[in-house]
Structure 1
């Protein structure tokens, strides 16, 4: 009898444990009762009927899935290997569980086929140069097609675009040539600028020197002009005095005196 009650107690405890379903805040879900949807699982504690109800929970946070690398053929028959990542989230739990068997696997396959179609319609140069266009085109297609599954594709990013080896080598050589060309142009521009600055420096030096010489000549000329002007006035005064007193009998000024005065002026 004792063991009977122990077994009954264990069964009751098992039923109580199985009748409680704890759902995290970032989860939602459905309750299937005998194969039919009987209710919705909400964050917190949910009560179900053990052995009859089957709870299925779905993470509704944004998730990231990798698109495995795959080789694709461009419009101009070049083989490229591309891989990508997709950011998505479940927005309708009912459709995510009822409309598609495995929405994550379905998204991966849909992304691969869509990406293959986009790359097949573009040439290699466009594939390499228009990454943002490919991302946008793939995002629009995936978001539209997965809407029926209750899934929203939020972002798509191409991680790697690997061209054929021969094309990759040619691109490397071209890049190297462009860098050498830019380096040569920069070096030539530097030499040109250096010569220009040097010439401007020489011109500036010559201009300053010429201005200095011009100022010196101007000062000398002004001084000479003033000096000769004063001397000319004195000569004129002495000449007038000599003419006035030449015939005067009261004052006799020797011509030697005039010569002495002129010499004195010159000395001054």
Structure 2
């Protein structure tokens, strides 16, 4: 068997394989951090980039936004209420070299920092702030986590608290508090309505008192409204100023009757 054709075939394969192994394709959202014999080189930009097999080691770095879910954390708020809180963190790499050389695994490190910061920030807030003013806590979390991940070339863009779980006893207490608050508001609204109605009635009484004819028309209108219901009983409003003189004469009439009775006796 001739050795020449085998050597030629191996040489042809080497000519095809070596150039392919010496070329890397980087996507638009990727950067390549290359170490040549352990020494850092400038990051490779997107496109077709050459590397030296056996001498260069390239680490691909993804620059897209990464969504990281923080598992539920057991926390105690400032007003001593236990709660379970989870959140979501969105971050991206802004410095590929630092993300490889400054930290072993930037995703794991960011997750651990986010968990500890979440417990710390929520522990400084009370339950009402955690439930009603979550946006302020989100901003505080974003600033705190980003300040700690910036040396790694990681930029934290958004931190959102997703769910807050509190004990059932606290939920029932909050429900009773909300019901009492609604009842208080209803009573206040009812009292304000009574006050406004009394003011309107006083103004109406002043207007009617200045015009007796208007008062008579109001009486007639009331009778018309009663008659429209086809009731067997008719209530006729009698103004007190009409029967007032008769009521004033009743004591004198009773005294006169008593005197006549004594004279007859």
For residues 195 and 45 of structure 1, do their structure 2 counterparts lie closer, same or farther at Cα, with a shift above 3 Å needed?
farther
- SS of 1:41 mapped into structure 2: coil
Contact kept, 8 Å, 1:41 with 1:55, in 2: the verdict is: no
- Cross-structure match for 1:41: 44
Greater mean alpha carbon deviation, residues 168-177 or residues 30-39: 168-177
Q: How many residues align?
A: 212
For residues 23 and 190 of structure 1, do their structure 2 counterparts lie closer, same or farther at Cα, with a shift above 3 Å needed?
farther
CA-to-aligned-CA distance 1:29-51 (integer Å, 9 cap, x gap) = 21111222133210111011112
Distance of 1:179 and 1:7 partners within structure 2 = 87
Question: Residue 6 of structure 1: which of 9, 16, 22 is its match?
Answer: 9
- Cross-structure match for 1:87: 90
**Following TM superposition, where does structure 1 have runs of at least 4 consecutive aligned residues deviating by more than 4 angstroms?**
176-197
Distance of 1:8 and 1:194 partners within structure 2 = 105
TM normalised by structure 2 equals 0.66
Q: Note the residue ranges of structure 1 that are not aligned, 5 or more in a row.
A: 201-209, 215-268
Deviation of 1:187 (Å): 8.5
- SS of 2:144 mapped into structure 1: helix
- Cross-structure match for 1:127: 130
Distance of 2:74 and 2:101 partners within structure 1 = 33
- Cross-structure match for 1:58: 61
- SS of 1:40 mapped into structure 2: coil
Distance of 1:161 and 1:133 partners within structure 2 = 15
CA RMSD after TM alignment? 3.3
Deviation of 1:74 (Å): 1.9
Deviation of 1:123 (Å): 2.7
Q: Note the residue ranges of structure 2 that are not aligned, 5 or more in a row.
A: 204-212, 218-265
TM normalised by structure 1 equals 0.65
Question: Residue 139 of structure 1: which of 137, 142, 154 is its match?
Answer: 142
